[in-house]
Structure 1
Amino acid sequence: MNALQGLALACSLLLPVAAPAAPAANATPSPDTRLQALWQRLDAGQPVTVATVGGSITTGYAAQPPREQGWAAQLARALGPQVRLVNAGVSGTDSAAAVHRLQTQVLDAAPDLVVVEFGVNDPWLDPAVRGSSFEALLRRLLQASKPPAVVVLGLTQQGNQPRDAVDVQLQLAAHYALPALDFGRWMQARVDAGHDRWAALYDEPVHPNAVGHQRIAQALLETLQAHRPPRDAAVAPPARTAMPEPRFGRAHEFTRLLTGDTWPAPFGHGFARGGPVHPEWPGQQPGWAATADDAEAQWLVHGAEVAVFHAESEHFRNLEARVDDGPWVTLQGQVPERRGYLGWHYTVVARGLEPTAHLLQVRMKRDTWAGSGRPASLLAVMTAGLYPPALRPTAFERRNAPPPGAVQVPANDAHLRWVGRVGPAPGTAGGRLLAWSGTELRARFTGTALGLSFASTHWGTSHFTVEIDGRPLWLAVPGQGASHWQLREPLAAGEHTLRLVKRTEGSMAETALLSLSLAPGGALLAPPPARPLRLAFFGDSITAGACNGDVGDDQYDDLYFHDGTRAYGALTAQRLGADYVGIAVSGIGITATWHDLLMPQVWNRDAPRADAALAPVETPAPDVVLLNLGQNDHGFPASKGQAMAADFAPRYLAFVRQLRQRYPQARLVLLLGGMSAPREQPALPQAVQQAVATLRAEGDLRVWSYRFDAFAWAHPRIDVHARMADELTRFLQTEVLK
């Protein structure tokens, strides 16, 4: 008697009525070549690795002992003694959590067969997520360096209900031509034929008992055997085929997990390392826990979807979270139904975000459990949609020219309001040169369409935020050529507002806006009113926002993550409702530079080039001019083992005098910090203080200095920039603008 015959006999002895085999439901009509190859290896006695990934039913819950008598273990034994089982079942988890553990717990084992089971747990998952996350599991398995055979196991609760998640999973299996077992249908056919009873398989509605696990293993073996080739049959080697287009998008193929040592301490108070870990998650480390009513924390996260994996039981309390300035979402930790054991939940905080850096804020929820002293516990932050450049979604499509009949509006039209330093684009008819990050176009128009035409002789790609009626969109405009970008979806009829803001700093990319195109019959309206306050910032990479969205180390290969509109200066202007002018160049200083030019050579030009045109004094002139330089005056010579220039202080003062000469009525604020130089080089703060003292002694009382507390050893990310903006906003409100 072989293992398969033994399993079938064991199942039949549990019921008084014989149990003939039911047809495997949803089996792939044509043989699966990877399963055929698997059977050939099994029949030849070769070693095979089988992996199972799912929830508590996959772990063997309710079988005794679970890991030895669950359906996964029974399936492995039935396939043969040479089978190594990798059981990646984790109780209480769904497919959204599984994509984060798939590599380490499944793919690293190089399995030959993977059985995927999330039909019972995915109904608890956000319906907007479950299709994408389950599909990502399948796609990542099929795109592995050594793609395994994949079988989808569609389990339901007792009585074959509910089926919402299972039906989606089975449809995805068919979409990818994968073998699948609809266990509910398989079992119901046995029940309808009088050969089995649902009640025999369950002692409670969710988890199958020992009999249920045997039935699942039996049905899976039948499904696999449907693809078993005859002995000595010629089987074509498995070949990679073209991957079908995704049905639910690709966000969960590109994930990032913050947990344990990869999850740094938060900015805030009241949270400490600790809390329970998932007992079935290998290598997992404690997250962050809090008991204080005023506990709050902030973390830097990346991606288009942000979710928190948190503990829930009768003993925990609730948190709430939001991403950036989005709505607060409850993290339900207080769940009375979970008595005597811990549960875990994947709660989506925000989705549909731009796939870049964001701020996750978590705080204790003020509810009926306030003052109870009970803990709240976070286990991980799970983000999805950190797309590679070629897959980043954009609302624009590139065309050769505007649509026929479109109304063309030149970039120098008087109904367009420009904010920042914008000069004429040489060699164009009415084009405007967009170099400095933070440069902004504001307009009002009518019509159902919008297009933007650009030209560039620079090598770099310029990244823009295009905000239409308050909804931010992302656009990348490549250098070295002309391009037209048309909004894909039509706008509603009527009036619209537009903000076009350059994110990329001028030394990395510059381009010219040639024109806007509107729908036939559309027209520009009077521009939005000017903001009452105007701030102008002069600085280096800190002010430019270099690397502020980078995921890991500082990098300059993908400037999508460098966003001047989320640097501290632009954020300060936003908080104060002010117009922002940003004149900033990475690597630049007063006495030293990582490149060719010093700030005194480019600060008054239309672009950070020695051959760029001199810019006229802005009209209206800025109310406050802020200067933040010195990091590179120290950092560049220090990188070569040299001292900072001995004449930094007088040259710094001379540049401040140039600013004062250009802006005689402005308030001057001399800033210091954001990175490490002021901590490492005492001459920097001394020079700033000396400049303020000198000017005030000469009667210039409209000058101040401020040193940031927030800083980073590498380039500050958006979380540090946000804290810098908070500091600076308070200082301006209380000391400068009062």
Structure 2
Amino acid sequence: MPPPPLTGGRHDAKKMNRLKGMALGLSLMLPLAADAADARLQSVMQKLQAGEPVTVAAIGGSITTGYAAQPPREQGWAALLARSLGPSIRLFNAGVSGTDSAAAAHRLQSQVLDANPDLVIVEFGVNDQWLDPAVRGSSYEALLRRLLGAQKPPAVVVLGLTQQGNQPRDATDVQLKLAEHYGVTALDFGRWMQAREDAGIDRWSALYDEPVHPNAVGHQRIAQALSETLLAAIAQPARQPAPPPEPVYGRAHEFTRLLGGDDLHPYRQQGFTRGGEVHPEWVGQQPGWISRADYGEAHFLVWGSEVAVFHAESEHYRNLEAWVDDGPVVTLRGHVPERQGYLGWHYSVVGRDLEPGAHLLHVRVKPDEWTGSGRPASLLAVMSAGVFAPELHGSDFIREPATNPAELIAPDDPRLRWVGRVAAAPGGRLLAWSGTELRARFTGRELTLRLAPARGGINHFTVDVDGRRHALALRGDGPADWRLPLPAGTHELRLIKRTEASQAESVFLGLKLSPGEQLLPPPPPRRLRLEFYGDSITAGACNGDLGQDQYADLSTHDGTRAYGALTAQRLGADYIGIAVSGIGVTATWDQLLMPQVWNRYAPRLDAPVAPPDAQAPDVVLVNLGQNDHGFPASRGQHIARDFGPRYLTFVRELRARYPLARLVLLAGGMTAWKEEPAIPRALEEAVATLRAQGDARVWTYTFQAFAYAHPRIDVHELMADELTAFLKTEVLK
């Protein structure tokens, strides 16, 4: 029988002692009762005994909603427990059927923490059994860490449920171990119930009409076991709260971002429309995107180190497939024949272990046996985890002191292939312009890069090994070794500078391999060479920013994901980027104009002028004018009257340096060309003038894709689509 309910009002000492004695007896029945009770839980129980209002929140899946009890919200375990604790309880039931702890991480704030609860009971033992095993530990741990780290931390009770017969237990065992790690009270209901069956006082079969969801009797038993657990806390010594320990599974799901409704908007799509069924229990959800077209596809800008799609599944839906950036394709199983007559919902991970930051999610209807059926394929939301602040970014590299230079392979070794404008520097090579690239092949179990900061702030690099991107943030003073462990074998390296030259410079001093390993002949040269001149748009400034443009954290500024680098990648070309934020031909937000620095090794007047490359670019592209308009406009002034002639003069200088190259004069990416007619007019007049003088190898192109702030990587993707098509059809034919 369940214990007598606690009632509101004050108790005399005799009644209090009787209650504590009963709790002590009950504690002996609990398989997982700790040797000390959470002080927060004791405080909640003391408030309850005093008749003070207590707010209880329960978060979980369909079992928490009361599914299979009638009516569910009134006869489910949460409601039964609340009534047993007395009239001073205020209950918030945040159960949402078909959700797991990964989805709960996205609703914890609005559905639980905003209620300012005194006690939170967390139930996901059954639904997390179907959650990706690589996710369930991190997502459940995040719930505990966020609850315990709240401004007013509630008492937390982990409710470890299993299916009928106390199996399977994979997810529940993870959750109970996390409860122990964080020192919170836990109830292993499966063990509690199994002990009763072993003692002959209860039967599993009485609690379930089907294997997953407990029936009305099952909900009564869960409420009974929880009541015993709470009462047992009264008689135990208090365990005072301690700072949260180090995480077991990482912190990714503490930092999440939910894209749904109007926030879930593709930057490119065909065959998808707004719609699809909305989860009926998720308060505030709006329709996602749905397609009945066999060719349907949609592409989204997302952030985080893990990207997942939250989608419907039933016997009536079709499958989708999705991938992040250029990662592996994952099937999103919408067609689930066993879900007959009702909808299910699933958190499907598409990309994990990504570099924290901006990414592109690609979704399409999967070609399969349902092609031509007209069945819908639907996605409701995109859920990202690992949206870390810069100080929480991890690194795959191990920083070590620089050692004997004789161990290094020198930067001028002929087996290293350099792409870009690279200057000699004391002991190495100066890396200034974003997009500067080193390519090499080698054998071994690790790679060590020796680099030294030269000027400015933190230098950010992409180190691509065998197609996998690793972020390297060059911090600190003086040279250092950056060691990257690798699997044994032959590897191909691309070291690419991301940070634009005006913000940071560095010196590459060499690389080191494992003992006995060797540097191999370099990758073959690319057949095509593109050289871009531009401003912050071309440099990729702010292209990974979440929210407003900013220059405080340059890890989100990535020249390797700007439209020029993307275009070169699609054409299989080498990329050279000469770009400076704020710069123009006639106006600048800083000190220098492009005609002063365009031919130097770095954007400063004391940098040497670089001789023409031994391998001249095949195509030279110029995208300037945004700041020629933007800077004077910020002061209420007009673009310089001589912008057109000075622009033409700069183009003539480029032509003189590159007499055989194709020249493409670009406008766009932001809005200056829309706001200032002098910009497109200057480009058209420059082309007309050069062609009239016999120079037929010059074109102009205006991007249709644009952004009012700095373009993010989704807009750069569209710009690269446009430019690649234009170059193929008009310039390179």
Task: State TM-score, norm by structure 2.
Answer: 0.94
Contact 2:444 2:486 in 1 (8 A): no
Of stretches 451-460 and 477-486 in structure 1, the one that deviates more from structure 2 is 477-486
Amino acid aligned to 1:242: P
Separation in 2, partners of 1:109, 1:406 = 63
Contact 1:406 1:520 in 2 (8 A): no
Amino acid aligned to 2:441: R
Separation in 1, partners of 2:487, 2:215 = 56
Report the equivalent of 1:559: 554
Separation in 2, partners of 1:590, 1:313 = 59
Contact 1:548 1:562 in 2 (8 A): yes
Contact 1:434 1:510 in 2 (8 A): yes
| Aligned partner of 2:468 among 471, 490, 507 | 471
Is 1:434 matched up with 2:431? Answer: yes
Tell me how far 1:555 sits from its aligned partner: 1.4
Aligned ranges 1:660-671 → 2 under 5 Å: 660-671=655-666
Is 1:606 matched up with 2:606? Answer: no
Q: Secondary structure at the match of 1:458?
A: strand
Report the equivalent of 2:416: 416
Report the equivalent of 1:385: 386
| Aligned partner of 2:215 among 178, 201, 209 | 209
Is 1:271 matched up with 2:266? Answer: no
Separation in 1, partners of 2:612, 2:88 = 80
Separation in 2, partners of 1:86, 1:734 = 61
Of stretches 577-586 and 310-319 in structure 1, the one that deviates more from structure 2 is 310-319
Q: Secondary structure at the match of 2:126?
A: coil
Is 1:642 matched up with 2:637? Answer: yes
Contact 1:406 1:518 in 2 (8 A): no
Of stretches 124-133 and 521-530 in structure 1, the one that deviates more from structure 2 is 521-530
Residues 708-727 of structure 1: CA distance to partner in whole angstroms, max 9, x if unpaired? 12111211111111111121
Q: Number of aligned residue pairs: give it.
A: 716
| Aligned partner of 1:122 among 128, 136, 147 | 128
Residues 636-683 of structure 1: CA distance to partner in whole angstroms, max 9, x if unpaired? 112222111111110000000000011111111111111111111121
| Aligned partner of 1:496 among 491, 496, 516 | 491
| Aligned partner of 1:42 among 16, 37, 48 | 48
Contact 1:407 1:523 in 2 (8 A): no
Separation in 1, partners of 2:246, 2:405 = 34
Is 1:450 matched up with 2:447? Answer: yes
Residues 671-705 of structure 1: CA distance to partner in whole angstroms, max 9, x if unpaired? 11111111111211111011001001001111111
Report the equivalent of 1:569: 564
Tell me how far 1:526 sits from its aligned partner: 2.8
Aligned ranges 1:523-672 → 2 under 5 Å: 523-672=518-667
Tell me how far 1:406 sits from its aligned partner: 7.9
Report the equivalent of 2:396: 395
Amino acid aligned to 1:322: W
Report the equivalent of 1:359: 360
Is 1:706 matched up with 2:701? Answer: yes
Separation in 2, partners of 1:653, 1:242 = 64
Separation in 2, partners of 1:275, 1:496 = 45
Separation in 2, partners of 1:333, 1:406 = 58
Residues 271-302 of structure 1: CA distance to partner in whole angstroms, max 9, x if unpaired? 22222211111111111122222221110011
| Aligned partner of 1:688 among 677, 683, 690 | 683
Contact 2:671 2:708 in 1 (8 A): yes
Aligned ranges 1:288-437 → 2 under 5 Å: 288-402=289-403, 407-425=407-425, 428-429=426-427, 431-437=428-434
Residues 26-79 of structure 1: CA distance to partner in whole angstroms, max 9, x if unpaired? 222222111111112112222211111100010111112211111111111222
Separation in 1, partners of 2:550, 2:149 = 28
Is 1:138 matched up with 2:144? Answer: yes
Tell me how far 1:405 sits from its aligned partner: 10
Q: Label 1:432 to 1:406 Cα distance change in 2 as closer, same or farther (>3 A).
A: closer
Separation in 2, partners of 1:418, 1:457 = 19
Separation in 2, partners of 1:470, 1:20 = 59
Contact 1:3 1:79 in 2 (8 A): no
Q: Secondary structure at the match of 2:150?
A: coil
Separation in 2, partners of 1:21, 1:551 = 49
Is 1:516 matched up with 2:511? Answer: yes
Residues 407-443 of structure 1: CA distance to partner in whole angstroms, max 9, x if unpaired? 2123233332110011122xx22x2111111000112
Q: Label 1:346 to 1:446 Cα distance change in 2 as closer, same or farther (>3 A).
A: closer
Q: Secondary structure at the match of 1:661?
A: helix
Q: Secondary structure at the match of 1:125?
A: coil
Separation in 2, partners of 1:573, 1:699 = 28
Percent identity at matched positions? Answer: 69
Q: Secondary structure at the match of 2:500?
A: coil
Amino acid aligned to 2:367: R
Separation in 2, partners of 1:568, 1:372 = 38
Amino acid aligned to 2:557: H
Task: State TM-score, norm by structure 1.
Answer: 0.94
Tell me how far 1:508 sits from its aligned partner: 1.3
Is 1:506 matched up with 2:507? Answer: no
Residues 480-508 of structure 1: CA distance to partner in whole angstroms, max 9, x if unpaired? 54332122x2541x543221100111111
Tell me how far 1:194 sits from its aligned partner: 0.6
5+ long unaligned stretches in structure 2: 8-24
Separation in 2, partners of 1:406, 1:443 = 19
Contact 1:273 1:287 in 2 (8 A): yes
| Aligned partner of 1:55 among 58, 61, 79 | 61
Q: Secondary structure at the match of 2:262?
A: helix
Of stretches 259-268 and 660-669 in structure 1, the one that deviates more from structure 2 is 259-268
Contact 2:255 2:387 in 1 (8 A): yes
Aligned ranges 1:78-97 → 2 under 5 Å: 78-97=84-103
Q: Secondary structure at the match of 1:708?
A: strand
Separation in 1, partners of 2:530, 2:476 = 29
Tell me how far 1:222 sits from its aligned partner: 1.2
Tell me how far 1:472 sits from its aligned partner: 1.9
Separation in 2, partners of 1:44, 1:611 = 77
Q: Label 1:565 to 1:250 Cα distance change in 2 as closer, same or farther (>3 A).
A: same
Tell me how far 1:315 sits from its aligned partner: 2.4
Report the equivalent of 1:12: none
Contact 2:54 2:88 in 1 (8 A): yes
5+ long unaligned stretches in structure 1: 8-18
Amino acid aligned to 2:89: V
Report the equivalent of 1:11: none
Q: Label 1:530 to 1:117 Cα distance change in 2 as closer, same or farther (>3 A).
A: same
Separation in 2, partners of 1:622, 1:149 = 65
Residues 77-135 of structure 1: CA distance to partner in whole angstroms, max 9, x if unpaired? 22221111111100010011000101111111111111110011111111111111111
Tell me how far 1:339 sits from its aligned partner: 2.5
RMSD of equivalent CA atoms: 2.1
Separation in 2, partners of 1:484, 1:608 = 27
